[in-house]
A and B are shown apart, each in its own frame.
Chain A
Amino acid sequence: MRSVEKHPNADKLSVCRVFDGETELQVVCGAPNVRAGGRYPLARVGATLPDGSLTIKKSKLRGVESFGMLCAADELGLSGDHSGLMELSETWAAGTPLAEVIGPPDTVFELEITPNRPDCLSLIGIARELAAVYRKPLQKPAITGVSEALSTDLSLVKIEDADACARYTARLLEYVTVGPSPDWMQRRLERAGIRAINNVVDITNYVMLETGQPLHAFDRDLLAEGRVVVRRAKKGERMQTLDESEHELDPTMLVIADAVRPVAVAGVMGGAGSEIRNETKNVLLESAWFDPALVRTTSRKLGLSTESSYRFERGADIEGVEWASRRAAQLLIEFAGAKLVGDVVDSRPEAAPLRKIEGPYQKIRDIMGIDVADETIREIFTHLGLGVLDAPSGHYALEIPSFRADLERDVDLVEEVARIHGLDKIPAPSPRAVVDPRAAENGTPRAKAKLRSVLAGLGLSEISNYSFVSDALLDLLDRGNQPKRVPIPRPLSADHSVLRISLAPQMTATLGRNRAHQATRAALYEIGRTFERGADGVVEIERLCIGLFGPVGRIGFDRHSAVESEEIFLWAKGLIEALLATMGLDAPTVTPHPVAYAEQGASVEFHIKGVSIGTLSLLNRSTRKEWRMTDPVAIAELDVAPLLTNALAVRVFHDIPAYPSITRDVAMIVSDSVTHEDIIRVMREAAPPELSAIELFDIFKGPAIGEGRRSVAYSLVYISARRTLTDDEANTYHNSVKGALRKQLSAEIREG
């Protein structure tokens, strides 16, 4: 960049004189970081950006001609950075092809590292895995010129909480020249998703990527008394972190402090007050081991999750702390002109003896289900960096290095062998043919599957709603169950704040929603658990809910005439009766029964052998209004368990009649207060066992019959299991039925 001038007609644009190695070009640029003397990628006229979105043309921007485009890293597809032009090292000569600067095309592998393998949050860790896969030696970077000698001056570092900080090393470096780090290092950092800042910070990050050990560099001149104290934060202590956010600390948190104030949140993030500046000369390089649980809670509390905290949370290698520091010191000497001052301060407990694991090779093979030779297994162990010790024949004995804290027991070694040998090599044999007599216990799921098939066969579509629901929706149908509801203390939203105590509210909402989507009818069911607070905790009850609206039971073409309440109620009742019969249950008795969300007088309870199994209701007007449903809606709620009791029972053959039957009809006018059930009961009581069936075949109301009365007609079938009935016998039976109807129900029998 030869010169940069403000654009005459635009505040945010600059007019740049750019030298491309051959000629000087005029380029208009909008980046904030463009400055004379810088080196930037230039796309000349005719160049096309990597994503193909733009071919550079000679153009005019606000009246000034431009012959190319200076590029940000994202425009070149090199990173997501669009904060400004991509800054290149000033060591490059103008006109150098960018390909030469950024190096050959690279491949970035994104690896998902499971939480048990913090050692693989590093290049060396991954290299070790690959070394084992390819049976090649692992080559770590060689370190020269950095002394390992321990300092005897311990005043530099004071550890007040040795449980939280089991190891702390510090190296002092002087004559540091802060500037950009080498291009190759910047590139690698950027490809790993870490922004390049300056050589000192970049080196700490680079070594973290190499080793998995997070490091921190302090400007020692900004540390009061030039020393660090590892301690708990004091109540009310405040600190500004490197991301420029201000935090209030508390004693659950570990900090690195100088003689006066905290300068870093241990293992999480450095403080703004001690960071590396352009004028930094003296650096204190920290490499330490912090307690994983403590870093995790601190990181959560502060809402700060960093590359560093991520690694400490999963567990850094306490024995790798000093090596990483040494590696960083070497790079600081090489790329920041630093000189070491004194020896390394290393505050640590005595190294724990390495864990030993022994076991038979055969167990590893048994668990994998594949034959792998002892020798191959041993080779895998060796290449993974495990110490293979002498062991009796057929057995292995291993010494586990500190970076593999996840290997504790012999079973933990199976995965090592399976992974490296190759999970793809594990065969997929045919299932073992073992007949388990307990397989016959699948009664309940089979009965439930039958229940679902029967419901589908009856024309119902299955739905599935969340177990969570809002109090408001439950209240719409029934406020009375409030005390029994089970709230969720930390719900995702108010709509999901309580466990459902009934399936009816969501069924109602589902019908309403479908109505709003212009469905003209729906016949739905749901089977699900409901939750209610009982005396001994929460009770889970599996229920079946059925919901109907529209002309779902109508067989004719008439889809437009309004569905009557009685009509839809009887469809629902009929389908429940069919369901119970198909599930092998006796005919239920049905009695009027109040239900909170029902229209007055339009709700019943079903009983089988005296046990209530649920209710059927027509939804009341005020609830329907919530979904603008003007026509009637039927909702049934039944317990599932009683429906399954007889579902799989074997039916026993009953003789079919061997003699002909005789059918006699009876038509009568009765008061509206006389129910169908009353009539059936009276008929049954009056007739002998030869009365085998009663069928209603007509109901009529009208002026001819009179107010408050109706005409009903039934067919009665008489049959004997032992002989052919005579007409006389049938007439006698029938007459006694008629007599009883007259006497007990004041029926007017219509003769003729």
Chain B
Amino acid sequence: MMPVFPAGRLNDSMNSGEIQELQTAAIAEIAASGDLSALDAARVKYLGRNGRVQDILLALREAPVDQKRELGRLANEFKNSVQAAVDERREALQSAASVAAFDVTLPGRWPHRGTRHPVTQIIDRAVEIFGQLGFTVADGPDIETPFHNFDALNTPANHPSRDPKDTFYLGDGTLLRTHTSPVQIRVMQSRQPPVRIIAPGRCYRPDTTDATHSANFHQVEGLYVDRKVSLADLKGDLTYFARQMMGPNVKIRFRPHFFPFTEPSVEYDFSCHVCGGKGCRVCKQSGWIEISGAGIVDPNVFKAVGYDSTQYTGYAFGMGVERIAMILLGIPDIRMLYDNDVRVLRQF
């Protein structure tokens, strides 16, 4: 309960401090009233015919002349602000009464909730990030010629990747592309440097399906050709990508490797975004996560598309979309990406 001033202080007139104190108490009591009848009781108590406001008016009447002006202002303020508090509280109590009529805990009724497949989410994100660096998206067919998939990419005629064990041939001289690199060739055949493209797409290899292999998978290919493009540019751009995609502190590591279409060639790893490189389950305690291959475009590739390798250099990289999706989203088995189980899809 609020402090109540003892009645019968008629001879002991209220001073200005007491009026203000009373006002504070009245507003608090009004705000705390739980229903309309409690509110009305409080209103009568303070503003009613026999309410406390009468004490104030009495004090005003009895006050010396030099204090009348000040006490008059306080009396007015008391009446106005207490009345405003009553009105506000009444509004609140009335509107609460009008919405309390139904069960607000019932389930919501908007049934539409869609999700994006993790693979296309990663592709769109990669396109967006490289878009920030001025890369345009390029596209090519799934069914390719050996020229675009192998020959122009400096892959020797007897290279093991051409074996029917590693490539789906369609029997009419065409094949299902084994990587998105043929898009590089198509782009370079159609335009002159500088070239900055990114080519996401589906690829195919006759791999027996297991937790990390799928005969049908997606890659994102990147190509940047200009004057004096270096391994450092490659590392810088991949670092930018990795930090945008995986997290702000991710670093890139190069390891020497060999691909027919790049010289020098590297494999690149991301430092583990989960443990920051200290070692954890995700990175198999190594602190690093293997991503894919990259390198400086081999002069023989430029020759195949008619670029002058004395004027231009370029870098190219690939990345496995499913692999990044699995690492980033914690998906344990690549097959889950193609099972299309709504219990999985709903999560992304």
B136 adjacent to A441 (CB under 8 Å): yes
A459 adjacent to B136 (CB under 8 Å): no
Q: Is A467 an interface residue (CB 8 A)?
A: yes
B133 adjacent to A529 (CB under 8 Å): no
A457 adjacent to B114 (CB under 8 Å): yes
**Chain A stretch 350-372: residues in CB contact (< 8 A) with chain B:** 366-370
B117 adjacent to A464 (CB under 8 Å): yes
A438 partner residues in chain B, CB cutoff 8 A: 136
B120 partner residues in chain A, CB cutoff 8 A: 452, 462, 464, 527
B264 adjacent to A459 (CB under 8 Å): no
Q: Is B158 an interface residue (CB 8 A)?
A: yes
B231 adjacent to A426 (CB under 8 Å): yes
B316 partner residues in chain A, CB cutoff 8 A: none
Report which of B110, B131, B233 forms a contact with A439, defined as CB distance below 8 A. B131
- A673, chain B: closest CB distance, angstroms: 34
B127 adjacent to A445 (CB under 8 Å): yes
- A439, chain B: closest CB distance, angstroms: 5
**At the interface with chain B, which of A329-337, A428-436, A724-732?**
A428-436
A522 adjacent to B117 (CB under 8 Å): no
Q: If the complex has contacts A409-B299, A429-B232, A439-B136, are A467 and B142 also in contact, measured as CB distance less than 8 A?
A: yes
Interface centre among B170, B255, B340 (most CB of A within 10 A): B340
A555 partner residues in chain B, CB cutoff 8 A: 109-111
- State A423–B254 Cα separation when bound (angstroms): 6
B176 partner residues in chain A, CB cutoff 8 A: 467, 488
A452 adjacent to B263 (CB under 8 Å): no
A461 adjacent to B346 (CB under 8 Å): yes
Of all chain A residues, the one with the shortest Cβ separation from B242 is: A428
A114 adjacent to B345 (CB under 8 Å): no
- State A428–B228 Cα separation when bound (angstroms): 15
- A27, chain B: closest CB distance, angstroms: 40
A529 adjacent to B142 (CB under 8 Å): yes
Q: Provide the B38-78 mask, 1 if CB < 8 A to any CB of A, else 0.
A: 00000000000000000000000000000000000000000
Q: Is A517 an interface residue (CB 8 A)?
A: yes
B206 partner residues in chain A, CB cutoff 8 A: 490, 492
Q: If the complex has contacts A117-B258, A418-B264, A459-B112, are A442 and B131 also in contact, measured as CB distance less than 8 A?
A: yes
- State A346–B65 Cα separation when bound (angstroms): 135
Q: Provide the A397-435 mask, 1 if CB < 8 A to any CB of B, else 0.
A: 000000000000101101100110001101111111011
Report which of A439, A456, A529, A556 forms a contact with B116, defined as CB distance below 8 A. A456
- A406, chain B: closest CB distance, angstroms: 8
Report which of A449, A496, A552 forms a contact with B215, defined as CB distance below 8 A. A496
Q: Is B278 an interface residue (CB 8 A)?
A: no
B232 adjacent to A531 (CB under 8 Å): no
Q: If the complex has contacts A436-B194, A517-B343, are A531 and B143 also in contact, measured as CB distance less than 8 A?
A: yes
- B61, chain A: closest CB distance, angstroms: 60
Q: Is A523 an interface residue (CB 8 A)?
A: yes
- State A524–B341 Cα separation when bound (angstroms): 11
**Chain B stretch 110-169: residues in CB contact (< 8 A) with chain A:** 110-117, 119-120, 124, 127, 131, 133-137, 139, 141-143, 158, 160, 164, 168-169
Q: Is A455 an interface residue (CB 8 A)?
A: yes
Q: Provide the B323-347 mask, 1 if CB < 8 A to any CB of A, else 0.
A: 0000000000000011111110110
Report which of B170, B236, B263, B264 forms a contact with A427, defined as CB distance below 8 A. B236
- State A665–B158 Cα separation when bound (angstroms): 78
- B254, chain A: closest CB distance, angstroms: 4
Q: Is A468 an interface residue (CB 8 A)?
A: yes
A670 partner residues in chain B, CB cutoff 8 A: none
Of all chain A residues, the one with the shortest Cβ separation from B115 is: A461
Q: Is A194 an interface residue (CB 8 A)?
A: no
Of all chain A residues, the one with the shortest Cβ separation from B114 is: A456
Of all chain A residues, the one with the shortest Cβ separation from B233 is: A369
Interface centre among B124, B135, B143 (most CB of A within 10 A): B143
B266 partner residues in chain A, CB cutoff 8 A: 423
B342 adjacent to A369 (CB under 8 Å): no
Report which of A367, A457, A514 forms a contact with B231, defined as CB distance below 8 A. A367
A462 adjacent to B170 (CB under 8 Å): no
A429 partner residues in chain B, CB cutoff 8 A: 232-233, 235-236
Q: Is B230 an interface residue (CB 8 A)?
A: yes
Q: Provide the B215-245 mask, 1 if CB < 8 A to any CB of A, else 0.
A: 1100000000010101111011111100000
Q: If the complex has contacts A367-B296, A441-B136, are A468 and B215 also in contact, measured as CB distance less than 8 A?
A: yes
Q: Is B306 an interface residue (CB 8 A)?
A: no
Q: If the complex has contacts A423-B266, A555-B109, are A462 and B345 also in contact, measured as CB distance less than 8 A?
A: yes
Q: Is A538 an interface residue (CB 8 A)?
A: yes
Counting residue pairs across A and B whose Cβ atoms lie within 8 Å, the total is 216
A441 partner residues in chain B, CB cutoff 8 A: 136-137
How many residues belonging to B are interface residues under a CB distance threshold of 8 Å? 80
Of all chain A residues, the one with the shortest Cβ separation from B141 is: A540
A414 adjacent to B110 (CB under 8 Å): no
Q: Is B90 an interface residue (CB 8 A)?
A: no
**Chain A stretch 454-478: residues in CB contact (< 8 A) with chain B:** 455-468
- A574, chain B: closest CB distance, angstroms: 11
B230 adjacent to A540 (CB under 8 Å): no
Report which of B110, B133, B256 forms a contact with A423, defined as CB distance below 8 A. B256
Q: If the complex has contacts A463-B117, A464-B340, are A369 and B111 also in contact, measured as CB distance less than 8 A?
A: no
Q: Is A115 an interface residue (CB 8 A)?
A: yes
B235 partner residues in chain A, CB cutoff 8 A: 369, 426-429
A467 partner residues in chain B, CB cutoff 8 A: 142, 176, 202, 204, 216
B136 adjacent to A436 (CB under 8 Å): yes
Report which of B170, B230, B313 forms a contact with A488, defined as CB distance below 8 A. B170
B117 partner residues in chain A, CB cutoff 8 A: 462-464
A461 adjacent to B137 (CB under 8 Å): no
- State A542–B183 Cα separation when bound (angstroms): 17
Q: Is B171 an interface residue (CB 8 A)?
A: yes
A442 adjacent to B172 (CB under 8 Å): no
- State A86–B172 Cα separation when bound (angstroms): 56
A492 adjacent to B208 (CB under 8 Å): yes
Q: Is A58 an interface residue (CB 8 A)?
A: no
Q: Is A304 an interface residue (CB 8 A)?
A: no
Of all chain B residues, the one with the shortest Cβ separation from A430 is: B236
Q: Is A736 an interface residue (CB 8 A)?
A: no
Q: Is B186 an interface residue (CB 8 A)?
A: no
B226 partner residues in chain A, CB cutoff 8 A: 434
- B71, chain A: closest CB distance, angstroms: 57
Q: Is A596 an interface residue (CB 8 A)?
A: no
Q: Is A383 an interface residue (CB 8 A)?
A: no
Q: If the complex has contacts A415-B264, A489-B170, A540-B141, are A436 and B196 also in contact, measured as CB distance less than 8 A?
A: yes
Task: Identify the 3 closest CB pairs spanning chains A and B, nearest first.
Answer: A369-B232, A459-B112, A369-B230
A-B contact pairs, 19 of them (CB 8 A): A367-B296, A428-B238, A428-B251, A429-B232, A431-B133, A434-B134, A436-B134, A439-B135, A439-B196, A442-B136, A442-B137, A445-B127, A445-B137, A465-B338, A489-B169, A489-B170, A517-B341, A537-B172, A553-B111
Given A461-B342, A464-B337, 7 extra CB contacts under 8 A: A296-B158, A368-B230, A424-B254, A428-B235, A442-B136, A461-B115, A557-B109
